[in-house]
Amino acid sequence: MKKAGPDAYSLFLKISFAGTILYLLVLLITGGYGAEWLAMENNFDNFLTDHFRHIAFASDMKHFYFNTNDATFPPFAYLLYYLLYRINPNSWAVNQWKECRDYQYNPLVYLMLAILLVLVFKLVVDKLLPQYGNERNLLLVIAVVCSAPMMAGALERGNISFLTAVMLLGALYLKDTDTDTRPGAVIPWKREAALLLIAAASGLKLYPAIFGVIYIVEKRYKEGMRLLVYGLLVFLVPFIFCGGILGLIQYLKILFFFENQGYRSWTNVRNYLLSISDLLGQYENSAYFVKYFRIAENLYLIFCIVSMFRTKEKWKLALYTAGIMALYVPFSYRYTSVYMLIPLIMYLKQDKDKQKIIYAVLFALTFTIPVYGLLTPLAADFFIFTPIYIMMIYSFIEDWCRKKERQNNEDRV
């Protein structure tokens, strides 16, 4: 009798909880040793900065793109931040985000919004993974929320990456709910809602627009065209309130500015390579290396997109799109690793006999607290993002090298 293999879902939970619980024990035993190591950029000065800084920017909707280079979100996002700004009795200037953060009930408002989003995330997980039951799905949500990418990343900084990830997960659930493509059939509202969710997510962070490639891969061209229209409307129309055409031009200048930046971190392809060059004692040559590392990151982008057309595993469409959002964006921080939630859920959604254990392990090593990193001089982000790089490389090998090997074997037969 063949022995049953390990359950990928249970293995993920065990590894994820093990790292997080062990880290908390280390904090208890050592009196907090390692807390600074886990904090983003090794400091606590920017707590909730990505939430309240953008609320402060929204205090001057017509001019904020001209007043700071840190307004990196599309204008649709600032319409939402403006609503949060309006519920405050006090007014703050564009650069007074700490005053905004420290004012009375503002942290409480953020806390309630974060709790609400976690509950929505649990609802989406239950919809996508009904086969595991509500109790096990609750454990999955707890494991993710207590992991470094979330607890010491998106939630700590108040970045909307978690919101966009949940919106994209909801879109993936809705897009295939009804696939009636008969001539003359009425377009199901759920499929249209999926398009609107992707467009709205792109209006918050721009790069979720890469999810539109999925519709091209699946040859759902009409939906893809509608998504393009929705996306352009969500992106362009809000500029009416954010500086008009001059605001659009200034925003593109800001994006171009950050596109040409590079700094030592482990959070994206360009900066990962810069960090390696630094470890090799080549930091003084970093400016020279950046142009080559930009080529490498763009090759990675192209490789991900082309791989979407080669893969035979549907969940990998989410892997390659999320892999772009997590590792490609030149100026990004730890919170981008949260996008790997999307392929994690889609990986678990497939039949158990199709779940390869290596992916469960790599997902778990990302969504945990890598306490073993305390034994090294390396930053926590190295241990959060390296499993993602390994996962992407392994998937590339599967979809390129092994497919070619199978084809050669078939030709020989």
HEC secondary structure over the chain: CCCCCCCHHHHHHHHHHHHHHHHHHHHHHHCCCCHHHHCHHHCCCCCCHHHHHHHHHHHHCCCHHHHCCCCCCCHHHHHHHHHHHHCCCCCCCCCCHHHHHCCCCHHHHHHHHHHHHHHHHHHHHHHHCHHHHHHHHHHHHHHHHCCHHHHHHHHHHCCCHHHHHHHHHHHHHHHCCCCCCCCCCCCCHHHHHHHHHHHHHHHHHCHHHHHHHHHHHCCCHHHHHHHHHHHHHHHHHHHHHCCHHHHHHHHHHHHHHHHCCCCCCCCCHHHHHHHHHHHCCCHHHHHHHHHHHHHHHHHHHHHHHHHHHHCCCCHHHHHHHHHHHHHCCCCCCHHHHHHHHHHHHHHHHCCHHHCCHHHHHHHHHHCCCCHHHHHCCCCHHHHHHHHHHHHHHHHHHHHHHHHHHHHHHHHHC
Q: What gap in Å lies between CA 56 and CA 64, rounded to an integer?
A: 9
Q: pLDDT value at position 287? A: 67
- Backbone conformation region of residue 298, classed left if phi is above 0, alpha if psi is from -120 to 50, else beta: alpha
Contact at 8 Å (CB) between 150 and 335?
A: no
Q: pLDDT value at position 332? A: 81
Cα angle at 269 between 140 and 358, to 5 degrees?
A: 40
Tokens of 159: 């970045």
Q: Is 192 exposed, middle or buried (0-12, 13-18, 19+ CB in 10 A)?
A: middle
**Predicted confidence pLDDT, tens digits, the chain (413 residues):** 445 567 899 999 999 999 999 999 999 999 888 888 998 877 778 889 899 999 989 888 898 899 888 888 999 999 999 999 888 777 777 777 888 888 878 889 899 999 999 999 999 999 999 999 999 999 999 999 999 999 999 999 999 999 999 999 999 999 887 655 555 444 578 899 999 999 999 999 988 999 999 999 999 999 999 999 999 999 999 999 998 999 999 999 888 877 666 566 788 888 888 888 888 877 667 667 777 888 889 999 999 999 999 999 999 999 999 999 999 987 788 999 999 999 999 999 998 888 999 999 999 999 999 999 999 999 999 999 999 999 999 999 999 886 555 555 444 44
Return the domain boundaries, the chain. 8-412
Q: What gap in Å lies between CA 146 and CA 155, rounded to an integer?
A: 10
Contact at 8 Å (CB) between 198 and 171?
A: yes
Contact at 8 Å (CB) between 205 and 324?
A: no
Q: What gap in Å lies between CA 256 and CA 173, rounded to an integer?
A: 34
Q: pLDDT value at position 179? A: 54
Amino acid at 64: F
Q: pLDDT value at position 234? A: 96
Tokens of 144: 């993710």
Cα-based distances in Å from 271 to 262, 295, 310, 338, 405: 6, 12, 28, 18, 33
Please, how many CA atoms are within 13 Å of residue 121, restricted to the half-sphere of its CB? 26
Q: What gap in Å lies between CA 143 and CA 353, rounded to an integer?
A: 23
Tokens of 22: 């062990």
- Which residue's structure tokens are 């996008």? 339
Closest by CA to 77, choosing from 238, 212, 193, is 238
Amino acid at 119: L
Contact at 8 Å (CB) between 268 and 275?
A: no
Phi and psi torsions of 180, nearest 5°: -70, 110
Amino acid at 169: L
Q: What gap in Å lies between CA 143 and CA 141, rounded to an integer?
A: 5
Closest by CA to 342, choosing from 104, 153, 149, 58, is 149
Work out the number of other CB atoms within 10 angstroms of the CB of residue 339: 29
pTM of this prediction? Answer: 0.90
